[in-house]
Structure 1
Amino acid sequence: MNRCSLVVESCYPDLVINVGEVTLGEENRKKLQKIQRDQEKVRVTQAACALLNSGGGVIWMKLANNDEHLVEMGLDLEKSLRELVPSPHFEAFFETKQEGRCFYIFVKSWSSDISTEDSSVRPRICSLSSSLYRRSGTSVFIMDSRNAFDFLKAKRRDAECEMINDFSPPSKMSKTVYQNSSEFDLAFEIFQTHRLEYGQILPFPESQFIEFKQFSTKHIQEYVKNTVPEYVPAFANTGGGYLFIGVDDKSKKVLGCAKENVDPSSLESVIAGAVSKLPVVHFCSSKPQVGFKTKIIDVFRMGELYGYFCVIKVEQFCCAVFSQAPNSWMVKDMLLCCLTAEEWVQRMMYVDPVEKDQGKVWNIKQLSNNSYFQGILILSRSWAVDLNLQGKQTVICDGLLVALNSPPVLYTILGEQDAEGQDYCTRTAFTLKQKLGILILSRSWAVDLNLQGKQTVICDGLLVALNSPPVLYTILGEQDAEGQDYCTRTAFTLKQKLVNTGGYTGRVCVMTKVLHLSPGGNPESLEDSHSAIDYPMSYNLANTKEMEALLQSLVIVLLSFRSFLSDQVGYEILNLLTAKQYELFSKNLDNSRELFIHGLPGSGKTIMAMKIIEKIRNTFKCKEDRILYVCENQLLRNFISNKKICQAVTRKTFMRNVCEKIEHIIIDEAQNFRLEDGDWYKKAKNISQRKKDCPGILWIFLDYFQTTHLTCTGLPPLSAQYPKEELTTVVRNATPIARFLQQEMQMVKGNPPRNFPREYLEILHKSTWVLDVPGNLETENLDLENMVIYVAEKCQYFLRNGYSPKDIIVLFSTTSEVEEYKDKFLTAMRKRTMSQINDAPICGDDMFDSVRRFSGLERNIVFGINPRAEDPTIFHNLLLCLASRARKHLFILQLSYK
C-alpha cells in the first residue's frame, strides 16, 4: 500500500484525521491559487475516502483564514465530497461543525443500507477514482464506482461461466461484433502494412475500437508513456481495438513523426514498459498478461523516409486492466494507505460471508435471527443491568440480549472486590438509572474485545441509553495515569467492531469516562488528557429502535469468532458463539484455574481452546512462550502453532521437554492421550501449580465419544474431573451430518468401549442440535476402481461450483492406507484437469490424511474411505470422529470386493 502524510490522531476513541490548515468559505477559496486549492481538496477528500472505508470517524482541520464567524465549507470541497457518495445521500454520510477556528467533518461509515438502492448490487467501497477505463463510441471514460462494480461483476461471472462450461481458459474470448466489421478489417490491413505515405488518408474513421492520436511536438516518449495507461486499458476492457499514433483525428491524414525526433526501437520499449506496469486483476485461472502488439510503420514523403507511424493493437482482456492503482484509501495501523488494485477489487466485490447450498443463503445477521440463536443470553461475567427502559425488564434484539434489573448482579461480578468497591459500583449503577437504557458491566471490556486488560481496573461499564451516544465507563481502584489511555483504546476498538464486525449502519461513537475510588470510597472523575470532540446530536441514540440495532451489533461483536476455515479457504468466515460457549469464554480465570471441558462432537472445543488462550494472554499479559497448547496430533499442533498465540506441542514432545517458562497449559482432544511416555496429567498439574500463591491455568478439553483407542488415557476418573463444564450444542455440522452423529452416539451408548466411562453417557440427555442447516450425507459401497472415480467426479463437481481444494479432505482409517491409496486418487483427479480451477494444486498431500491425525480440524467436504477399526468396539467412535470433521458434505465410502 502507498501511504500519505496525513496524521491519524491516537488520543481519541474514534478515527480522527488531522488534515492541517484549510481555507474555508466560498469567497475565501476563490481567492486561492489553483494549486493550493487543489492540494487542500486532495487532503480533505483522501481523509473522507479513508474514513468512509474504515468505519467512519472525524476529519479535523484548522481554518487557514482569519474568519472568527462561522463559515461554510466551500462549493469545490463540498462537490468533491458529494462525488464520493450517491448524490441524493450526501447528508447521510457527512455532517459539519465549527468550534472557533476548528472545523470538523463527521463521516459515517460507508454502508449498503440506503433503502432507495438494492444493497446486494451496491459497491462496498468508496473511491476518488477507479482507474478503470473503457471505450464508449469514440471516447474514453473512467468508470465510476457503480459502473466499475457492474463491470467487475460481469467479468467475474464470465470467468466462472468459462470454467463451469468447458474448463477452457477465459482468455480465449470470442471476437466482438466490432471485430467482424469491415472497418476492423481495414484497420488490420493498416496494421499489417510496412509503408505509408505522408498525408495519406486512412479509409476508416474513429470508432469504439479505433482511436487516432498525433505525436506531441516535444517529449515524444513521455507523451506516449502517458497515453498508453489511458487507451490500452480502455480497449482491453471493451473488446479490444487499435490506437493509431501519428494521424490527424479530423482529416484522418497520416502525419507520423519526423525520424530525427524518434527512435523506433526505443519507442517500442517505452510502450512495452508502460503496458507491463498496468495493474491487472484476474477472476480466471489462466491469468494471461495484457495482449498487445506494437507496429512501427515507415512514413515516406516524396519517395524518401520522412519518419514513423505507430500502431498499438490491443486484445480484449479476460478480466480487468487498470491504468494505475485505484485512488481509494483506508486507515490501516493508524496510517492512511492507498489500496492496491487487488485489494480494491476484493473489497469492491466483497459480500457478507454466506453459505450457499441447496438454494438457501445464510449470513451472519440471518443466523442471529435463526431459531437456533433465539434466546441466547449474555451471561456470566458480562451482565446487562436494566436502567428502567420503559419502566420494565426488556428483552432486546429478539431475545439475543436480556436486560437484567437485579442489584445482586453487581455483587456477583465484583464478588472478589472489597465491600467499598461493591458499594461504589452499586451507587454508580443507580445514579445512572436516571437515563433510559442499559448498563453492561464487565470485568474488562478490553479483554472481551481481545485487547490486553489492566490490573488496576475494577470493572468497565458500557452505558447504552436514549438521547446519548454509548458511553464506556472505566472504574479504577486507584488513580492511574494510564487509565484514560486504556479506556480510550477500548472504546476505539469497540466502535470499530460495532461497524466493521457487527454491521451497525447508523452514526456511532463511543464516549469515555474514567472514574476511580478515592480513599473514602467516593467516586472521582479523572479528567481527559485531551479535549473530547463534541459530536452532533445525530450521534445520540434517538429511540429504542436505534438502541436495539446497536445492541444487536454488539451481540455479534461479543459472540463472533473467526472460523478455522478462514485460513483454509482464503476468505473471512465469522461464526457466532453459543450461549454456553460464551459463558465458558467469559469465566473469571482467577476463579477457574483448573477446569475440565466435556464437549460433544462438533460442539467447538478447539475453537474454545483458542479463545481461552487469547483471553489468558490478555488477562495476565502473558507472552506466547508462557502458554502451552498440548494435543495428540501433529496437524492440529501445526495449525495452532501457526496462529502465533502460544507454544504448541504434541503430547510426546511435552513429556520430553522441561517446560521451564510455561505457566499456563491448555490440553485439547485429551480423550486420545496415552500413558506410554509417562503421566502427562500429573506433569501438567505440577507445572501449572508451581506458583502456589498464584497458580496458572490448566484447562482440559475432551470427548469420550471420540476415543479411538482402548488403552489408558491418563485422565483422572470422571468423578474426579472437577470442576467441569459441558458443551452440548452441536454447531459445526449440517443437519444430515448432525443426525448421523446422533445415530452413531446411540450406537456407542449401546456398546461402549471398555475405557469409556458409563456415567459420561448422561451428557446425551443434554444434547441439542442446530436445525435446518443445509448440507448432505451420502454412503456408498464401491469397489476400489469405482470409489476412485466417484471421489474424482465429486471433487470435479465441487471445484466447478466455486469450492477450493482446501475445502476438501479425504480421510483413511490409518496412515499406511493414506500412503497406499492416495496416488490412485490423485491420478484420477489429474485426468479431470482439476488444476485448471485454482492456482493451488489439487495434487497436494494436505488433501489426504487419516481420521486420527485430522482430529480437531474441519473441512467443508469430507470423504471417509473405508472406515474401519482394529477393534470393533471402537468402530462407531471412529465414525463419530470422521463425521464430525465435515461441516457441509460428508461421503462415507465402504470398500466392497468383486
Structure 2
Amino acid sequence: MIKMDDSTVKRKRMSSGTSALEAREITQNLYRYGETILNCNVHIIQGIRESGNEFVLKYVCALLNSGGGILHMRNLDHVQIGVQPKHLDTWWSGMENKFADILSCDDICNYFDMVGNYSDPDLYLFVKSAEHLCSLDYHCRLPTDTATHEVSYHSVMKLLQHKGAPWSISDLPLIPENFQYARTDSKIKQETKQIQFKYLSEGSKDSKSIPQKIKQMVSKYISAFANHEGGHILFGIDDVRASAMGELLSEEDQDRTVELINSRMENVIWGDEEFIPEQGKHWDICFKPVIGSPKKKARRVIVVVSVCKFPGGVFTASPDSYFVNEFGDIETWKFSEWKLSMLNPLRDKPDLHNRFIKLPISVPQSPLIFTLRQSIEKIEKRLLSDANKNLVLPHHYMDCIKDLKVKDFIRSVLNIFNVDRHMMIVVNCWGLQVTALQPSDVICDVLVLTENQGCHLVTISQISSEQIWEHCRYVAAFIKEKLVCHGGCVEKFGLVCHVANMDGYDDEIENSLSDNFYPSHFYVTPTKFDSLVQSLIITMAAYEPIDFSTLNTTKSMREVLATDKYFFLLTCDQFDLICKQQFTKELWVHGPPGSGKTVAAVQFIAELRRRGCQKDDVLYLAENELLCSYVRSFSFCLVTTRRKILELYFDLKKFNETYQNVKNVIVDEAQNFKDRDGDWYGLASHLVSRHENNHGMENCCGYFWVFMDYSQKVHKFKAGLPSVIGKNNYMLSEVARNSKEIFDFAKQFLDTAKTSDDQDETSALKKVDSQPHLAHEYSSGHEVEIIKCKQENIEKAISKVLNQLMENGTEIGDVAILVGKSKDKQEIEHAVQDIQKEAQMKEGVLVDTVHRFSGLDKLAVIGVNPHVNEEHASLQKFLLSLATRAKDNLVIITTSDDLKLSKTFKSKP
C-alpha cells in the first residue's frame, strides 16, 4: 500500500481554489458527503419567489439553523434555449440579498459557497451553520414617525427580553372625540411613533371593501405600536394634510370591521401563545363621527384602533423559521419553541460561575454547558499526545478484536492517515453514540481528523454495499451535526465518507485523498484542526448532572430547550479515565475527596448500558445507603449495599433470582467497606467471573471496577479489599467540589493521612499517584470556622450558625449537619427540629453521620463535635471526610480542647 506524502496533498490543495471544484464532480461523488443534503428544483430564468424558487430560502434557513449542509438544486432551465450566464447571475444576486436579510448581516461570504454554472443540471450550495437562529420573516414590526418597519434579529432579541406587566390603552395620548370634515385637529397635526394616519375611501383602485382593507393594514400597526410605546391608528385621516376626511362606512360596515378586527386579533401573538388580550384594556376599536361632511356622501367616520404597550414582543403570526429534524425533514418552529431557541444564547446559571465557566457556544439550538477552566485544553493535550503514539483511540479497543486478520486490516487502512497531527477515534465507543443500528457486516466506524488531509469517516466492513455506504453517510452526517450543534464548531469543514471492505480493498482511500470534495474554504488548517478537536471533546464529555445522560444521548435539542437542561463537562482526569480505560475489565480507581469518583462510576455504567447491557446486568455496590439511593434514582442498574447483598446471600435461592443476570460490578467508596459480615469482595468478583466465557458479549460483560480513596479510610479494621499490588490502578487528582478555603483546610489532613497502612501498597500507588490539586481557582470568601463551646451550649451554637447561613442567602436544603455516631445524630435531630420551629424555618436541614454521608456533599456543612474512638478509627481521616463534604461553607462546632487543627485555622470562642 503506497503512502502519500502529506506535503504533496498540501501543495495540491493550496493551489486549488473554489473554481477547481465543478458541479459534475459533486454529482458523481454525492454519496461521499457526510452532510445533511436537501434537494429542490429551481428556475434560474424566473424570479426568486416564482415557480417554487421560494423553497431555496426555506431550505437555506433550515440548514443555517441545523448545523449546515448542502442544498442540491436541480437546474430545470439548463436545457432552455436562450439561457445565458446573466440569468444565473441575476437570479443568484437576488438570492444573496435574501440570504443577507436572513442572517441580519452582509458577510454572507462566510456562510455560503455555490458551485455550478447556468448550463449545469445540478447546482450545489454549501451552507455553514449560522451563529444565531435565522428566520425568513419575524412578522414583527416597530414604528417610525411616518410608518412601520420590519424588525431585525437584534431588535427581536431586545423585544423578547423586555419584561413587565402590559400597559393599558388608558395610558395612550388622548385623541379628539369628534372631527370636523376636511379640517386638521390641533391635537393631532402630524404622525408620530404613537399616532399614524391612513385614508382608504378614495384614491385606491383595490377592489377590496373598506373593512377588508382595514383588517389587512391594521396588523402591522398592532405589532409596531405594541412593541414600542403603544398607539392609535386612525383610518380616515389624510396623511398629507392631516385633515379628517372620514371613511365611508355604513353601520353594517362598522359591524363587519369590528368582526374582522376581532378575527385578526385571534392570530396575533402577544408575547406568548397562551396570552389573550382584553378588548378595552390592551386594545380597542371605536368609530368617531366626522361632522360637516357633504350630505350627498355616505356616513363618514374615523376608525380608531388603539393598542397598548406590551413588553415581550407582539407578532402578527408565528415567525417563519425552519430546521431539519432528526428524520431529515424540514419543520417549522412552533412559536414557543422558536422563542426558546431565540433566547437560548442568554440561558445561564449564574450560581455556577464561581467554579465553572459557561462555554461560549454560538450556534442555533446550542446546549448550555459549564466546564472548569482549561479542562478542554488539558484534555486536548492528552488526547493528541496519545493519538500520535497510538494508531487509534480508545486504548485497548484493538485488543477487543480477536481476529488477527481483521485487526491487521484496520491498522493498514488507518495507517494512511498517520501523518502530521491527527486523531482517530472509534465511533462505536463511549462519547460518540450514534442512534442508528449498525449493519451486521460493519466492523467499526472511525472518525479521522487530520491537520492537512481533512476530516473523514471510515467504515471498516466485511463487504461493500449500498446499505454500508448509506450507513457511513448517516454516521458522518450525524457526527458533523453534533460537532457543530453540540460542540459549537463554527468553522467551515467537510466530512468525507469512505468504506474499506475486506472483500477486495483497492486503495480507494489513498487515491481519493488528493481529490477536492469541498470548496477550498472548507479545507482544514491548524487552527480549524484545534477547533474541531475541542468541539469533539465537548460533544463527548458533556453530561447532564440530573440524570448523568450524555449530550449525545439527547434525541432532540428541542427537548433540551423545552426542559431547560444544562450540562457539565467531565474533568480532564474523568475524561481520560472513561475514554482510555473503557475496555479495561478490572480497574481500581483512586482519588481524593471531591475528584468525581462517583460521577466517573455512573458514566461508566451508562456506557455499559449503551453497549447493550440491561438494567439487571450491572450492579452498583456501596457501603452508604444514601449514596445508593442517589444512584438508584437514575434507574439504570441494580443498586445495593454491602450489608444487604451479604444478608441476601444467606437465602441462596432469592439471591440467585435477584442477581442471576449480573455481569458487571461497580464498587464505590470501597474504603468504607467492612469484612466483618463476610467476603463481599469474593462474592462480587464471583458475580463477574462466572460470565467470562460469554462469547459475543466481550464488550459488555466481565467488568469489575473499584472506586476508592485510602485517605478517607476512617476505620482501622480491614475493609475486605485485596492488595492493590499488581492491579490496574488509575488516579484521579483534580478536586472540583470544594472551595479553595475548604481545600486548603482539608489538605492538612490529606497530607497527614497515610494512603494505606501497608507500605508495599503505598509504594505501588505512588507509581500512579498524582498530587491532589484544585481544578479551579474559586474562593468562596468563607474561611473555615472552628467554634469552641461547652456541651450544654451546642444547640445554641447550631442555632446561631444556621441563622447566619440563612441571613447570607443559603437555602435550608443546602445545609447538612454531620456528626460522628448514630446516637449523636438522634440528639442533634431533636435539637434542630426545636431550632427550626422556634425560628420559623422551613424544614429541610439534613442531619446524618459523616460515615453515612460519605460520597455526598452540600453547599454548607456544620460538623458537630467530631470525635472517634482512636483504637478503631483515625481522627485525621474522619476530619478529612467531614471537611470535604462541604462545597462553600464549613463550620465545625467542638467541645474538645484536643481537636488537632492546623494553626492557620484558629478556633473561635
Same topology, TM > 0.5: yes
Shift of 1:58: 0.8
> Within 5 A, what are the aligned runs for 1:763-802?
766-770=770-774, 773-776=777-780, 777-780=782-785, 781=787, 783-784=797-798, 786-795=800-809
Structure-2 residue corresponding to 1:81: 99
Structure-2 residue corresponding to 1:103: 123
Q: CA RMSD in A?
A: 5.4
Report the AA paired with residue 622 of structure 1.
C
Q: Does residue 606 of structure 2 align to residue 614 of structure 1?
A: yes
Shift of 1:658: 0.8
Q: Does residue 750 of structure 2 align to residue 745 of structure 1?
A: yes
Instruction: Say how many residue pairs are matched.
Output: 783
Shift of 1:738: 2.9
Aligned with 1:572 (options 566, 576, 592) = 566
Deviations 1:604-639 (A, max 9, x none): 212212321232234x43344544445566775566
Shift of 1:449: 0.9
Helix, strand or coil: the match of 2:228?
coil
Higher mean C-alpha deviation, range 717-726 or range 814-823: 814-823
Q: Does residue 48 of structure 2 align to residue 52 of structure 1?
A: no
Helix, strand or coil: the match of 1:84?
helix
Report the AA paired with residue 807 of structure 2.
E
Q: Does residue 102 of structure 2 align to residue 90 of structure 1?
A: no
Equivalent-residue separation in structure 1 for 2:626 and 2:301 (angstroms): 64
Structure-2 residue corresponding to 1:209: 194
Kept in 2: contact 1:214–1:256 (CA 8 A):
no
Shift of 1:149: 3.4
Aligned with 1:725 (options 715, 722, 730) = 730
Shift of 1:824: 6.3
Q: Are the structure 2 counterparts of residues 458 and 736 from structure 1 closer, same or farther at C-alpha, using a change threshold of 3 Å?
A: farther
> Within 5 A, what are the aligned runs for 1:817-856?
821=832, 856=855
Aligned with 2:154 (options 125, 133, 146) = 146
Report the AA paired with residue 778 of structure 2.
P
Kept in 2: contact 1:210–1:242 (CA 8 A):
yes
Equivalent-residue separation in structure 2 for 1:241 and 1:412 (angstroms): 70
Structure-2 residue corresponding to 1:238: 228
Structure-1 residue corresponding to 2:320: 327
Structure 2: 5+ residue stretches without partners: 1-29, 202-206, 362-369, 550-559, 649-654, 695-700, 788-795, 820-824, 896-907
Report the AA paired with residue 728 of structure 1.
S
Structure-1 residue corresponding to 2:708: 702
> Within 5 A, what are the aligned runs for 1:415-564?
415=399, 417-432=402-417, 436-444=419-427, 447-451=430-434, 460-465=445-450, 468-476=453-461, 483-518=468-503, 534-541=517-524, 543-563=525-545
Q: Are the structure 2 counterparts of residues 633 and 325 from structure 1 closer, same or farther at C-alpha, using a change threshold of 3 Å?
A: farther
Structure-1 residue corresponding to 2:904: none
Helix, strand or coil: the match of 1:775?
coil
Structure-1 residue corresponding to 2:77: 65
Larger Rg: 2
Shift of 1:726: 2.5
Structure-1 residue corresponding to 2:53: 40
Aligned with 2:42 (options 22, 35, 56) = 22
Structure-2 residue corresponding to 1:839: none
Equivalent-residue separation in structure 2 for 1:11 and 1:451 (angstroms): 19
Kept in 2: contact 1:735–1:775 (CA 8 A):
yes
Q: Are the structure 2 counterparts of residues 209 and 401 from structure 1 closer, same or farther at C-alpha, using a change threshold of 3 Å?
A: farther
Equivalent-residue separation in structure 2 for 1:823 and 1:267 (angstroms): 65
Kept in 1: contact 2:753–2:877 (CA 8 A):
yes
TM-score normalised to the size of structure 2?
A: 0.70
Kept in 1: contact 2:588–2:730 (CA 8 A):
yes
* Structure with more contact order per residue of length (Cα contacts < 8 Å, sep ≥ 6): 2
Shift of 1:78: 2.7
Report the AA paired with residue 235 of structure 1.
F
Aligned with 1:134 (options 117, 120, 142) = 142
Q: Are the structure 2 counterparts of residues 524 and 689 from structure 1 closer, same or farther at C-alpha, using a change threshold of 3 Å?
A: farther
Kept in 2: contact 1:446–1:490 (CA 8 A):
no
Structure-2 residue corresponding to 1:165: none
Q: Does residue 388 of structure 2 align to residue 404 of structure 1?
A: yes
Report the AA paired with residue 890 of structure 1.
N
Structure-2 residue corresponding to 1:5: none
Report the AA paired with residue 142 of structure 1.
E
Kept in 2: contact 1:441–1:459 (CA 8 A):
no
Kept in 2: contact 1:198–1:256 (CA 8 A):
no
Q: Does residue 675 of structure 2 align to residue 663 of structure 1?
A: no
Equivalent-residue separation in structure 2 for 1:641 and 1:230 (angstroms): 55
Report the AA paired with residue 522 of structure 2.
Y
Q: Are the structure 2 counterparts of residues 214 and 588 from structure 1 closer, same or farther at C-alpha, using a change threshold of 3 Å?
A: same
Q: Are the structure 2 counterparts of residues 690 and 605 from structure 1 closer, same or farther at C-alpha, using a change threshold of 3 Å?
A: same
Deviations 1:350-387 (A, max 9, x none): 169797899999455899996677665676xxx8xxxx
Q: Are the structure 2 counterparts of residues 49 and 868 from structure 1 closer, same or farther at C-alpha, using a change threshold of 3 Å?
A: farther
Shift of 1:551: 3.5
Helix, strand or coil: the match of 1:473?
strand
Shift of 1:105: 0.7
Deviations 1:67-99 (A, max 9, x none): 388755533323222222354412211011239
Q: Are the structure 2 counterparts of residues 637 and 248 from structure 1 closer, same or farther at C-alpha, using a change threshold of 3 Å?
A: farther
Deviations 1:688-716 (A, max 9, x none): 334240353232323344567x5989643
Helix, strand or coil: the match of 2:807?
helix
Q: Are the structure 2 counterparts of residues 829 and 14 from structure 1 closer, same or farther at C-alpha, using a change threshold of 3 Å?
A: farther
